[in-house]
């Protein structure tokens, strides 16, 4: 059994995959460092965006009880 079971490609074997990989490297070889760099930057920005969103949500959660306590204190003083 020297094939990869990919339904849309039929019974393609490892030698064929290797030839395809070599062709892709010849065509896109000089662009691969740039593609890798941009992919790394994108992942970094995505992770920092998630971190910022989480920090903002935590700030809002931390401020919400303070607001409720302040409202309760005002109601007690007014009553």
The pLDDT of residue 67: 60
pLDDT digit string, tens, across residues 59-69: 887 776 666 56
The pLDDT of residue 62: 77
Tokens 């959660």 sit on residue: 61
Q: Which residues of 26-40 are buried (b: 16+ CB within 10 A; e: fewer)?
A: eeeeeeeeeeeeeee
For β-strands 4-6 and 10-12, DSSP reports them as antiparallel
Domain boundaries defined on the chain = 10-61
Give the Cα separation of 58 and 62 in Å (integer).
Answer: 6
> Which H/E stretch holds residue 4?
strand 4-6
Q: What's the pTM?
A: 0.47
Confidence of residue 19 (pLDDT cuts 50, 70, 90): very high
Confidence of residue 48 (pLDDT cuts 50, 70, 90): very high
Low-confidence winner among 1-5, 8-12, 19-23, 44-48 (lowest mean pLDDT): 1-5
């Amino acid at each position: 059994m020297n094939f990869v079971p990919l339904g849309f490609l039929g019974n393609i074997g490892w030698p064929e995959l290797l030839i395809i990989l070599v062709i892709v490297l010849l065509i896109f070889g000089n662009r691969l460092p740039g593609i890798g760099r941009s992919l790394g930057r994108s992942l970094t920005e995505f992770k920092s965006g998630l971190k910022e969103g989480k920090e903002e949500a935590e700030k809002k959660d931390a401020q919400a009880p303070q607001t409720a306590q302040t409202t309760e204190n005002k109601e007690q003083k007014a009553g």
